[in-house]
């Protein structure tokens, strides 16, 4: 008799999701929480957690209207989970309303039996008065935009013309973008392979990445991607895919942006390498000698796993992985200058919140200045390691100008006597919008807009 996979009860998924939401509200990373989740619940809990965290501000505002006295954390997290899943939106709800309420009450009876009737009353009231409660919840900025107030104010300050669209885009599901291993094929050929297994996709009209980038019409598990296990393709956002071609220059599908290619065998530093996507892309696109640093030795294991799957480095290239703080060159540098340096600096990750919706709730206002200090220290420590005529690509997955334009403006002023030159091909800030200021019109269609990023390519005279 064939065995059939049995889905876990919705009440268990809701309970697991509520625990994840409670942990995020207490300051823990969702990635860490889900890693400890029972395997049979992990996929469902992740999908529900993402949806809840994208609507958490509204759900919390509505709960405050119905329950002025704050419930205990276990009860509150279950209620905001259910309220967020009942929230009106552009997509159909994941479950029928009566089913979700019934299963939330079942979860309450297991978790907090004394509060089950209260949970039932709140959720049924929300269904009865949903239109009015949602409208009232949206009167507050947090309820309207589903971001902390300080975050909303920062985005508004940095992007006065686009701030509403940016916050709305951060609450959307991101497209699934792929990078075809240039050592094994190209985007056009892989598009045909995807079509042969019934997975429609497109190639973005972008001269910098169009030869290797593919955007799926619908996300899928990596195990469903032809050739993934064999190293033919990787998952990587479109904005992130711009880093390696920008650093490597004309020999890497840059489509006439005017950056000369690095010589074969060039010495390259990837200063903050983990988890390894950009490390791998550098080795896919050019024959270089690469030193990949990361301050966390455990994260370098993931980099090595990625390189092994992709069968990198190829003949003609070399790579060394080393655990070290890039800000302390005396501890790891051998004294030989680098021809090129990729500094994908630690940042707030404000540009990738649609992929990591917990980030907005975990960050605090002073994180920006603390991370900007680290970015400044990295820039100042690595710049002397660059050979004359070399290039440094500074990158952050942030839309905050303090981590992008303002950081590089200050760097250029500090080092003015050395005459660093900002390459005009530098995209600057990339926004998760169709009318992206860093990409020519028509090259970033709305269905495949990349994440928020900042890139500055600086040449050393």
Length of the chain: 461
Coil, strand or helix at 457: strand
Q: Return d(Cα 107, Cα 5) in angstroms, integer.
A: 22
What is the C-alpha separation between 228 and 223, in angstroms, rounded? 7
The span from the CA of 363 to the CA of 341, in Å, is 28
DSSP state of 443: S
SS3 assignment, position 209 = coil
Query: From the centroid of its chain, how far is CA 437?
Result: 20
DSSP secondary structure letters along 278-325:
HHHHHHHH--EEEEEEES-HHHHHHHHHHHHHTT-SPTT-EEEEEE--
What residues pair up with 450 in beta bridges, in sequence order? none
Place of tokens 């200021």: 437
The CA distance from 413 to 46, in Å, is 44
Closest CA to 109 of 15, 197, 223, 244: 15
Residue with structure tokens 């892989």?
190
Phi and psi at 213, nearest 5°, equal: -90, 145
Question: In this structure, what token pair is assigned to residue 297?
Answer: 């030795």
With residues binned 3-state (H G I as helix, E B as strand, rest as coil), the percentages for the chain, rounded to 5, are: 45, 15, 40
Which structure tokens are listed for 410? 């200050």
Q: Answer for the pair 444, 206: CB distance below 8 angstroms, yes or no.
A: yes
Half-sphere exposure of 54 (CA within 13 A, CB side): 25
Q: Which residues contact 101 (CB under 8 A, 6 or more apart)?
A: 82, 86, 120, 123, 124, 127
Tokens 């655990």 belong to which residue? 323
Give the whole-angstrom CA distance, residue 120 versus residue 114. Answer: 12
Helix (H) or strand (E) holding 84: helix 73-85
The catalytic residues are 397
3-class SS of residue 215: strand
């Amino acid at each position: 008799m064939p065995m059939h996979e049995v889905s876990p009860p919705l009440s268990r998924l809701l309970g697991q999701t509520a625990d994840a939401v409670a942990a995020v509200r207490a300051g823990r990373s969702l990635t860490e929480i889900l890693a400890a989740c029972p395997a049979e619940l992990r996929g469902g809990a992740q999908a529900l957690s993402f949806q809840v965290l994208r609507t958490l501000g509204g759900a919390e505002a509505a709960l405050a209207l119905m329950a002025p006295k704050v419930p205990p954390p276990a009860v509150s997290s279950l209620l905001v989970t259910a309220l967020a899943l009942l929230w009106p939106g552009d997509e159909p709800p994941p479950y029928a309303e009566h089913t979700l309420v019934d299963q939330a009450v079942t979860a309450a009876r297991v978790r907090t039996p004394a509060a089950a009737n209260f949970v039932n009353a709140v959720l049924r009231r929300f269904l009865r008065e949903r239109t009015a409660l949602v409208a009232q919840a949206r009167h507050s900025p947090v309820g309207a935009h589903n971001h902390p107030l300080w975050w909303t104010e920062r985005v508004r300050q940095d992007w006065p013309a686009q701030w509403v669209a940016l916050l709305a885009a951060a609450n959307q599901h991101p497209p699934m973008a792929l990078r075809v291993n240039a050592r094994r094929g190209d985007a056009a050929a892989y598009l045909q392979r995807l079509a042969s297994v019934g997975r429609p996709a497109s190639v973005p009209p972008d001269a910098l990445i169009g030869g290797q980038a593919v955007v799926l019409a619908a996300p899928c598990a990596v195990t469903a991607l032809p050739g993934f296990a064999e190293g033919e393709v990787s998952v990587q956002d479109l904005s992130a895919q711009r880093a390696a071609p920008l650093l490597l220059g004309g020999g890497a599908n840059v489509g006439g942006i005017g950056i000369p290619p690095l010589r074969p065998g060039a010495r390259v530093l990837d200063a903050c390498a983990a988890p390894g996507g950009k490390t791998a892309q550098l080795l896919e696109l050019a024959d270089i000698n690469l030193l990949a640093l990361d301050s966390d030795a455990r994260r370098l294991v993931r980099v090595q796993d990625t390189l092994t799957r992709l069968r990198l480095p190829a003949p003609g290239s070399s790579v060394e992985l080393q655990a070290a703080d890039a800000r302390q060159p005396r501890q790891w540098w051998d004294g030989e200058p680098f021809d090129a340096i990729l500094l994908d600096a630690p940042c707030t990750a404000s540009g990738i919140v649609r992929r990591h919706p917990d980030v907005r709730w975990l960050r605090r206002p002073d994180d920006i200045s603390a991370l900007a200090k680290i970015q400044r220290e990295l820039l100042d420590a690595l710049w002397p390691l660059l050979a004359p005529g070399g290039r440094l690509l500074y990158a952050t997955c942030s839309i905050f100008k303090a981590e992008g334009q303002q950081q590089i403006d200050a760097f250029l002023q500090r080092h003015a006597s050395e005459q660093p030159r900002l390459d005009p091909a530098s995209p600057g800030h990339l926004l998760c919008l169709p009318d992206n200021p860093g990409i020519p019109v028509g090259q970033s269609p709305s269905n495949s807009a990349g994440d928020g990023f900042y890139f500055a390519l600086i040449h050393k005279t």
